[in-house]
Amino acid sequence: MKVTFKIWRQENKSSKGNFESYDVEGLTEDMSFLEALDHLNELLVAQNQKVIAFEYDCREGICGQCGVFINGRAHGPHDHMTTCQLHMRSFKDGETIVVEPWRATAFPVIKDLVVDRSALDNIIEKGGYISAKTGTAAEANAILIAKNVADRAMDAAACIGCGACVASCKNSSAALFTAAKINHLSSLPQGKHEATQRVLQMTRQMELEGFGSCTFTGACEVECPEGISLTNIAEMNARRAKAKWLG
Amino acid sequence: MFFRKSIIALTGLFLCIFLIVHLSANSILLLPEETARGLYNSYSTTLRESPLIKIVAYVLYLSIILHVVYALLITLNNRRAKSKAYAVNRNKENSSWTSQNMGLLGIMILLFIVVHLANFWARIKLGMGEGVGLDANGHVDVYEVTYSLFQNMYYVGFYSLLMIPLGLHLHHGLKSAFMTLGFYHKKGLKFLAKAALVYAAIMAIGFGIIPLIVFLK
């Protein structure tokens, strides 16, 4: 299989960056997208050129590191998928594949396809945790939690922080990420005690980081590898309004 | 931003209610002329003379202004949040065109409102332009203003065609407003999606077809 990669190359944060085209042969459709990039990098090394920087860790769809914008979609052409789970069979032989880094002011490009997603960590630091000791797993099991509450918390907790929601949003809003973290913790008995300050501080930090506001296009929900529902954002808005006006 | 978004949502919902009242009044125009003229003119006179409606009118003006100004501020902020546009962006595969273009649709509606106010509000309320006569009951003949305007096919085209962006804007706006204000009940949102479609369709078709019917009468 042969494809042309059109990839964003940028030396560092302050340089301008531009697209470079690479014709790559010898690919198979069973290769994952990241393996195809590895293959391209091996060719570049052989030619004594600089390799393309891109992020990955687990390569099994759970770590959230491997986010890039492929042919106009976050994580490529499929809904609810990470880049590492994407395979070359999703592309046609001879196709040109355009690969760009996540675009958001809050996610500056560090190098090529790698962006700095610390802004999401900064939001977590403002309340994406429970500060009291919650005990061991056995103790946690002693707290009765209704099945539907546990399920909803788990659905939100599935967020892997990949940033696809921000990348695919026309406003670069981090509302889905922030909402998932807030709803996950605040709906559980252990997280309820800090719910008020959590929602106020985390949403405030989200704005300070320079993310835009949510206009409910729903793009994030489709691109989210975990399929986290858009209703989480409405729930966050309700929690925020309650915290703000009722305390 | 949450405050601004909430204001956009609240003013938007108020404007949605206003449109229902407006369309109900417009439908009087579809009655036979002898009933319609008297009813339409006495209705508009009642509105103009009611002190309560005067307050509602100021709330309406304020709603439009706040909706537009805050939408503009939010949009500018959102633009700043996107560092660079993607070279290739297939956002049609993950979201509706309408939801991606609320600002453009809003500008089209604003353009419509300006022309619409110049045609009616400026002439009847501010007394600008051509004077308006009285009907047999001594009421200002708004019916005549409407009917004479819609003898011009360009105005009919303008009024009818611009109801398409209105319908699209309402369809997304109604759903989005509820979610912005924190309505997150899953079944409720499913119902809301259907209700928003029905509401938007009724508004767009209703407002859009009346000038055509008047023109063809």
Q: Which residues of B touch A72 (CB under 8 A)?
A: 86, 88-91, 93
Q: How confident is the model at residue B136, as a pLDDT? A: 87
A235 and A144 part of one domain: yes
Q: Does B73 contact A at CB distance below 8 Å?
A: no
Range A159-163 average pLDDT:
97
Q: Quote the pTM value.
A: 0.94
Mean pLDDT across the stretch B70-85? 96
Most A CBs within 10 A among B4, B75, B79, B93, hence the mutation to make, goes to B93
Q: Are A103 and B86 within 8 A, CB to CB?
A: yes
CATH classification of the domain holding A54: 3.10.20.30
> Which residues in chain B are contacts of A108 at CB distance < 8 A?
83
Residues A122 and A241 occupy one common structural domain: yes
Q: What is the mean pLDDT of residues B97-103?
A: 97
Question: Rounded CA gap, A123 and A203, in Å?
Answer: 8
Residue A20: strand pairing partners: A7
How confident is the model at residue A146, as a pLDDT?
95
Maximum Cα–Cα distance across chain B:
64
The DSSP element (H or E) to which A20 belongs, if any, is strand A18-24
* pLDDT, tens digit (0-9, with 9 covering 90-100), for A94-153: 999 999 999 999 999 999 999 999 999 999 999 999 998 888 988 888 999 999 999 999
Q: Bigger pLDDT: B10 or B134?
A: B10
Read off the pLDDT of each residue in A84-101 and give the average, rounded to a whole number.
Answer: 98
Residues of A in contact with B71 (CB under 8 A): none
Mean pLDDT to the nearest integer, A46-61: 97
A97 shares a domain with A209: no
Cβ distance A102 to A118 under 8 Å?
no
Report chain B residues whose CB lies below 8 A from the CB of A172. Answer: 78, 81-83
**Residue B202 above 90 pLDDT?**
yes
Q: Would you call B2 an interface residue with chain A, using a CB distance cutoff of 8 Å?
A: yes
Report how many domains make up chain A: 2
Query: Does residue A169 sit in the same domain as residue A210?
Result: yes
Same domain for A106 and A126, yes or no, is no
ipTM confidence score? 0.93
Percent pLDDT > 70 in chain B is: 100
* Statement: residue A185 has pLDDT above 90: yes
CA distance linking residue A67 with residue A159, whole number of Å = 14
For residue A165, the enclosing domain spans 118-246
C-alpha A107 chain-centroid distance:
11
A240 in the same domain as A122: yes
Tokens read off for B186: 């899953």
Tell me whether residues B95 and A104 touch, CB distance under 8 A: no
pLDDT at A232 over 90: yes
State whether A218 and B94 contact (CB < 8 Å): yes
Q: Would you state the pLDDT for residue A247?
A: 78
* Pair of tokens at residue B76: 């500018």
Measured between beta carbons, which residues in chain B are less than 8 angstroms from residue A241? 6, 181-182
DSSP tally for chain A: helices H, then strands E: 10, 7
Of B78, B175, B178, the CB nearest to A212: B78
For chain A, the straight-line distance linking the first and the last C-alpha, in angstroms and rounded, comes to 60
Helix, strand, or coil (residue A160)? coil
User: Measured between alpha carbons, how far is B162 from B173 in angstroms, rounded to an integer?
Assistant: 16
Of A48, A76, A111, the position where a domain reaches its end is A111
A244, pLDDT greater than 90: yes
The yes-or-no verdict on residue B64 having pLDDT over 90 is yes
- Cα–Cα distance measured from residue A144 to residue A201, given in angstroms and rounded to the nearest whole number: 28
- Residue B128: what pLDDT? 86
Architecture of domain B2-84+101-216: Up-down Bundle (1.20)
Q: What is the reported pLDDT for A134? A: 83
AA identity, residue B180: T
φ/ψ of A244, rounded to 5, equals -70, -50
Residue of B nearest to A216 (CA): B176
Q: Among A111, A139, A163, identify where a domain stops.
A: A111
Sign of CA dihedral B60, B63, B64, B66: positive
Give yes or no: residues A80 and A139 share one domain.
no
Query: Least CB-CB distance to B1: which of A71, A213, A235?
Result: A213
Return all residues near B53 (Cβ < 8 A) that are at least 6 apart. B47
B171 at interface of A, judged by CB pairs closer than 8 A: no
We report the CATH number of the domain holding residue A171 as 1.10.1060.10
For residue A106, which residues of chain B lie inside 8 Å, CB to CB?
Answer: 81
If pLDDT is split at 50, 70 and 90, which confidence band does B133 have? confident
Confidence of residue A213 (pLDDT cuts 50, 70, 90): very high
* CA–CA separation, B41 and B140 (whole Å): 6
pLDDT > 90? residue B127: no
Is residue A207 domain-shared with residue A88, that is, in the same domain?
Answer: no
A208-211 own/partner pairs: CB under 8 Å, 24+ apart: A209/A106, A209/A119, A209/A122, A209/A123, A209/A174, A210/A105, A210/A106, A210/A119, A210/B80, A210/B81, A211/A104, A211/A106, A211/A119, A211/A166, A211/A171, A211/A172, A211/A173, A211/A174, A211/A175, A211/B81
By C-alpha distance, the chain B residue nearest A221 is B94
User: Is pLDDT of B129 > 90?
Assistant: no
Q: B80 to chain A: which residues are within 8 Å by CB?
A: 105, 210, 212
Last residue of a domain, one of A51, A81, A111: A111
* Phi/psi of residue A110, nearest 5 degrees: -90, -45
Do A99 and A180 reside in the same domain of the chain? no
pLDDT of the residue at B12: 98
